[in-house]
């Protein structure tokens, strides 16, 4: 959420006053974000010229500066019709030094490496490639931006709110007199997403205008801020438990933890939380918690709806690889659609930094003997295979230390396949799995723990893995051997006319645990398929099997891997619902990570747990080779753990506008959705609240009966209600049912890209009990 000042025309005297005020505002904001007096931040606020690089021929000098809110970057633009020449620090995903992006490597000389840096944005916004006038200035830009991003991210929710509201108050002060008139107060309320009637606005104004001067200033604006940010729902809860002279003692707080939060807490736990969250030194010394300290606690990980114990790896990581759901990407190289969108190494970096553990590489013959990656028979751009492998190596294990599967869709000639093998071996080195881990022929997959920091190649193999352990093994010459193609890849229909593919031994030999084979039915797989041989299923076939032969599919996946991929008709890079495939035990359910959508929200929600490692241990009944579990019928068995989920949607805080029009105020409505086995899948919704996105309150209760909680996901969706058209998306949060915490909790909200909406959230009460 941001409030950006447009630059008005001012007289010289007005400009002088304005400049002085800007310095004061900037100083206040620097103090708010904990960077008062920081030289790098001051450098950003002063601004300077940078060379913007778009192509070999488009390199132009532009002036950039951080605005006084310490959150918005403004840049000069020569486009007369361009209305927006700012971007928020919140939109930045990373700042990279040197010529690390494709654009800078392609369009600049190596000599500028020390002066070059790039700003990478969340979502589909293009990188900003820049060159400073000196290495020293480049360091100041990078250091300053990184400090602002880090400090903004680490602000407490209260400080974020204070910073944002302060910026919006500045914006509403049209005449720059540090005072707020009634008209400016109404304008400010619209900015922060509240529409009030005239009578209420006047009543609020009069209540704060204690000097009766016809405007608010100083302490009166502070009083207005306190009224605005008062949380009535928190006051009610606090009063209920603050039994010691109107304040919470450690014993009072412990009662809250035991009775409301249903935690296994001790008095010592309560004291530690008071020590951590209480801001008032006197209260802390008396081992008491004030209302502000209580609110601080509710915004900490302990007070959020997601179980903080699941923020780190807590599952057994020593099971065979096929016993895990694995976060997987389809056509990973694409940033947009499947027909003409750009291919980029950045796409691989983005998904790896989101914890993805299986990436896809569509490999084709390139010029000069260099294999390339792109979407064959389309206008998508091409990138070098070696550049992709280098990017994967650098970013594979920054978020998760567990293995990465390289899923090769191979359309290359034998010669370029040999080049691929050579590049994989030379670039990835000892991290590449080129032979089974033990000295003997394995009978099952190694575990994620055993494969930490390793790469596994998925692709065709000329012979059986067993042949590598046989003295009599025969290795065929690649020029005379062909192998039948399986269903793999979106090119299935086009490939049928040339369904024979010559295959290079060098590439074949590094396919160890993930040999691609066609699927000819579950019985054929049981009789003929080795554990390391895996089939890929187009979504339509996979969904049909999951609906009509769910138990057979589950049994198949107890000792083999299955990969599912989107249908070729999804040229817009849309996605299918992954939940029915997870219910059938499928491990590699590949989605188009580049597309913001509910399906990707579900993927992010499932893999939120277990330290976001990209590996989730399947429930025991999806790993048992004698299992009778069927998600469609859900008969009696160990999977049946009936729970009753009670959700009270209490309130929301600081929801963003969905329209940039000042007069547009959201009418928020909340859906609570359960995804899981068909018997558990349901959705309920609140009433909508008219014209209030700042602090709407519902206090509505819902109950859900959940039969198979191990496979259930809970999604909170906030939309802007509309009577005549579809509701508009505001924010969402998805988490596993088993990661829910009981009690009063804040629910952070994410945008459709899966990035945190600063300050925005829901406040709910959760109770999970065993159903009778």
For 243-276, write each residue's pLDDT tens digit. Answer: 998 999 999 999 999 999 999 999 999 999 999 9
Rounded CA-CA distance 219/243 in Å is: 31
Phi then psi for residue 353, to 5 deg, are -75, -10
Residues 6+ apart with CB under 8 A from 211: 220
The superfamily in CATH containing domain 173-229 is: EF-hand (1.10.238.10)
Rounded CA-CA distance 69/71 in Å is: 5
Q: Band of the pLDDT at 34, cuts 50, 70, 90?
A: confident
Q: Band of the pLDDT at 464, cuts 50, 70, 90?
A: very high
Question: pLDDT exceeding 90 applies to what percent of the chain?
Answer: 69
Residues 6+ apart with CB under 8 A from 389: 423, 424, 427, 428
Same fold, 173-229 and 232-303: yes
Across 546-552, average pLDDT: 96
Rounded CA-CA distance 283/338 in Å is: 60
Task: List, in sequence order, every residue forming a beta bridge with 372; answer none if it has no partner.
Answer: 364, 384
Across 155-178, average pLDDT: 79
Rounded CA-CA distance 302/293 in Å is: 13
The yes-or-no verdict on residue 159 having pLDDT over 90 is no
Beta strand extents in 25-160 (DSSP E only)? 48-53, 59-66, 72-75, 86-88, 92-97, 116-121, 128-131
Query: Which CATH number is associated with domain 232-303?
Result: 1.10.238.10
pLDDT digits (tens, 9 = 90+) for 741-767: 999 999 999 999 999 998 899 999 999
pLDDT digits (tens, 9 = 90+) for 399-414: 999 999 999 999 999 9
Across 91-103, average pLDDT: 92
- Residues annotated within a binding site for Ca(2+): 331, 360, 362, 409, 665, 667, 691, 720-722
3-state helix, strand, coil in the chain (%, to 5): 35, 25, 40
- Strand, helix or coil at 80? coil
- Check if the beta carbon of residue 639 is closer than 8 Å to that of residue 620: no
Beta strand extents in 599-657 (DSSP E only)? 615-617, 643-653
The yes-or-no verdict on residue 17 having pLDDT over 80 is no
- Strand, helix or coil at 342? coil
Rounded CA-CA distance 169/184 in Å is: 9
Q: What mean pLDDT is reported for the chain?
A: 90
Residues 6+ apart with CB under 8 A from 626: none
**Domain regions of the chain by residue span:** 12-157, 173-229, 232-303, 321-468+478-622, 643-770
CA dihedral 140, 143, 145, 148 (to 10 degrees): -120
- H helix intervals, 230-344: 232-241, 250-259, 267-277, 281-285, 291-299
- H helix intervals, 117-261: 135-154, 157-172, 182-191, 198-208, 219-229, 232-241, 250-259
pLDDT score for 3: 47
Element (DSSP H or E) covering residue 720: strand 713-720
pTM: 0.91
* Catalytic position from the list 163, 299, 375, 746: 375
Phi then psi for residue 12, to 5 deg, are -60, -45
Count other Cβ atoms within 10 Å, centred on residue 210: 11
- 25-29, 563-567, 647-651: which has the minimum mean pLDDT? 25-29
Looking at per-residue pLDDT, the higher value among 685 and 4 belongs to: 685
- Strand, helix or coil at 744? strand
Domain 643-770, CATH class in plain words: mainly beta
CATH domain 321-468+478-622 topology: TIM Barrel (3.20.20)
CA 685 centroid distance within chain: 24
Task: List, in sequence order, every residue forming a beta bridge with 705; answer none if it has no partner.
Answer: 644
pLDDT score for 545: 97
* Catalytic position from the list 330, 411, 745, 746: 330
Residues 6+ apart with CB under 8 A from 154: none
The yes-or-no verdict on residue 151 having pLDDT over 80 is yes
Rounded CA-CA distance 626/629 in Å is: 9
Residue 232 burial class via C-beta count within 10 angstroms: exposed 0-12, middle 13-18, buried 19 and up: exposed
The yes-or-no verdict on residue 558 having pLDDT over 50 is yes
Triad 732, 661, 193: Cα angle to 5°: 55
- Residues annotated within a binding site for substrate: 52-79, 458, 460, 536, 563
Clarify whether 163 is annotated catalytic: no
pLDDT digits (tens, 9 = 90+) for 343-381: 999 999 999 999 999 999 999 999 999 999 999 888 889
Element (DSSP H or E) covering residue 351: helix 345-352
CA 507 centroid distance within chain: 34
Across 297-319, average pLDDT: 95
- 16-20, 439-443, 534-538: which has the minimum mean pLDDT? 16-20
Rounded CA-CA distance 322/623 in Å is: 9
Rounded CA-CA distance 366/382 in Å is: 9
CA dihedral 573, 575, 581, 586 (to 10 degrees): 30
> Scanning the structure block, which residue is given the tokens 């969250």?
277
Clarify whether 375 is annotated catalytic: yes
Helix axis angle for 219-229 and 157-172, nearest 10°, is 130
Q: Encoding tokens for residue 262?
A: 């249903």
Beta strand extents in 451-571 (DSSP E only)? 455-459, 482-484, 500-502, 514-516, 533-538, 562-565
Query: Which CATH number is associated with domain 12-157?
Result: 2.30.29.30
Task: List, in sequence order, every residue forming a beta bridge with 53; answer none if it has no partner.
Answer: 59, 129
- Check if the beta carbon of residue 313 is closer than 8 Å to that of residue 452: no
CA 118 centroid distance within chain: 21
Write the Ramachandran bin of 212: left for phi over 0, alpha for psi from -120 to 50, otherwise beta. Answer: left
Q: Encoding tokens for residue 13?
A: 């005297």
pLDDT score for 250: 96
CA 109 centroid distance within chain: 34
């Amino acid at each position: 959420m941001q409030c950006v000042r447009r630059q008005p025309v001012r007289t010289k005297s007005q400009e002088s006053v304005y400049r002085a005020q800007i310095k004061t505002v900037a100083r206040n904001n620097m103090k708010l974000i904990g960077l008062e007096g920081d030289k790098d931040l001051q450098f950003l606020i002063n601004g300077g010229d940078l060379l913007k690089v778009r192509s070999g021929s488009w390199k132009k000098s532009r002036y950039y500066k951080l605005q006084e809110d310490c959150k918005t970057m403004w840049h000069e633009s020569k486009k007369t019709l361009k209305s927006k020449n700012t971007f928020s620090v919140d939109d930045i995903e990373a700042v990279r030094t040197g010529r690390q992006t494709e654009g800078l490597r392609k369009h600049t000389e190596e000599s500028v490496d020390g002066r070059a840096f790039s700003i990478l944005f969340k979502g589909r916004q293009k990188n900003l490639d820049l060159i400073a006038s000196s290495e020293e200035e480049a360091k100041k830009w990078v250091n300053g931006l990184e400090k602002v991003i880090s400090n903004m991210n680490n602000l407490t929710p209260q400080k974020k709110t204070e910073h944002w509201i302060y910026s919006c108050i500045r914006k509403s002060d049209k005449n720059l007199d540090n005072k707020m008139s009634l008209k400016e107060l109404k304008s400010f309320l619209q900015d922060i997403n509240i529409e009030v009637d005239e009578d209420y606005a006047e009543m609020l104004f009069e209540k704060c205008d204690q000097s009766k001067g016809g405007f608010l200033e100083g302490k009166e604006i502070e009083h207005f801020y306190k009224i605005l940010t008062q949380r009535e729902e928190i006051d009610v809860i606090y009063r209920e438990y603050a039994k010691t002279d109107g304040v919470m003692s450690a014993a009072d707080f412990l009662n809250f933890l035991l009775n409301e939060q249903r935690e296994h807490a001790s008095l010592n736990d309560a004291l530690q939380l008071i020590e951590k969250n209480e801001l008032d030194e006197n209260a802390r010394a008396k081992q008491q918690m004030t209302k502000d300290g209580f609110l601080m606690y509710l915004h900490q990980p302990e007070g959020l709806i997601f179980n903080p114990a699941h923020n780190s790896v807590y599952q057994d990581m020593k099971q065979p690889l096929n016993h895990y759901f694995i976060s997987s990407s389809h056509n990973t190289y694409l940033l947009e659609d499947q027909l003409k969108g750009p291919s980029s190494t950045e796409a691989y970096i983005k998904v790896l930094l989101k914890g993805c553990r299986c990436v896809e590489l569509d490999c084709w013959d390139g010029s000069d003997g260099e294999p390339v990656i792109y979407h064959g028979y389309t206008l998508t751009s091409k990138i070098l295979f070696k550049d992709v492998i280098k990017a994967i190596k650098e970013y594979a294990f920054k978020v998760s230390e567990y293995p990465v599967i390289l899923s090769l869709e191979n359309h290359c000639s034998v010669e370029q396949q040999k080049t691929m093998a050579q590049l994989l071996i030379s670039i990835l080195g000892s991290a590449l799995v080129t032979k089974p881990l033990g000295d003997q022929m394995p009978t099952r997959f190694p575990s994620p723990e055993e494969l930490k920091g390793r790469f596994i190649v998925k692709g065709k193999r000329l012979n059986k893995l067993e042949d590598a352990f046989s003295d009599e093994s025969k290795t065929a010459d690649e020029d005379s051997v062909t192998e039948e193609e399986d269903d793999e890849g979106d090119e299935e229909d086009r490939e049928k006319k040339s369904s024979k593919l010559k295959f290079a031994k060098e590439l074949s030999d590094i396919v160890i645990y993930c040999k691609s084979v066609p699927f000819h039915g579950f019985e054929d797989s049981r009789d003929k398929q080795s554990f390391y041989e895996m089939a890929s299923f187009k979504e339509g076939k996979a969904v049909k099997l999951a609906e009509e032969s769910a138990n057979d599919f589950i049994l198949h996946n107890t000792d083999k891997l299955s990969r599912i991929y989107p249908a070729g008709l999804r040229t817009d890079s849309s996605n299918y619902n992954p939940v029915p495939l997870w219910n059938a035990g499928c491990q590699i359910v590949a989605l188009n990570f580049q597309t913001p959508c509910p399906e990707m929200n579900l993927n992010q929600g499932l893999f939120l747990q277990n330290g976001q490692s990209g590996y989730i241990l399947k429930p025991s009944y999806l790993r048992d080779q004698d299992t009778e579990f069927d998600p469609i019928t859900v008969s009696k068995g160990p999977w049946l753990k009936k729970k009753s989920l009670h959700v009270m949607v209490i309130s929301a805080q600081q929801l963003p506008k969905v329209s940039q029009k000042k007069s547009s105020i959201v009418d928020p409505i909340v859906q609570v959705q359960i995804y899981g086995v068909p018997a558990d899948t349901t959705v309920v919704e609140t009433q909508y609240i008219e014209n209030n996105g700042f602090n709407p309150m519902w206090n509505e209760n819902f109950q859900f009966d959940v039969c198979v909680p191990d496979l259930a996901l809970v999604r909170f969706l906030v939309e802007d209600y509309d009577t005549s058209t579809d509701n508009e998306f505001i924010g969402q949060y998805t988490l596993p049912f088993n990661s829910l915490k009981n009690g009063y909790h804040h629910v952070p909200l994410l945008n459709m890209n899966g990035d945190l909406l600063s300050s925005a959230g829901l406040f709910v009460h959760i109770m999970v009990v065993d159903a009778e």
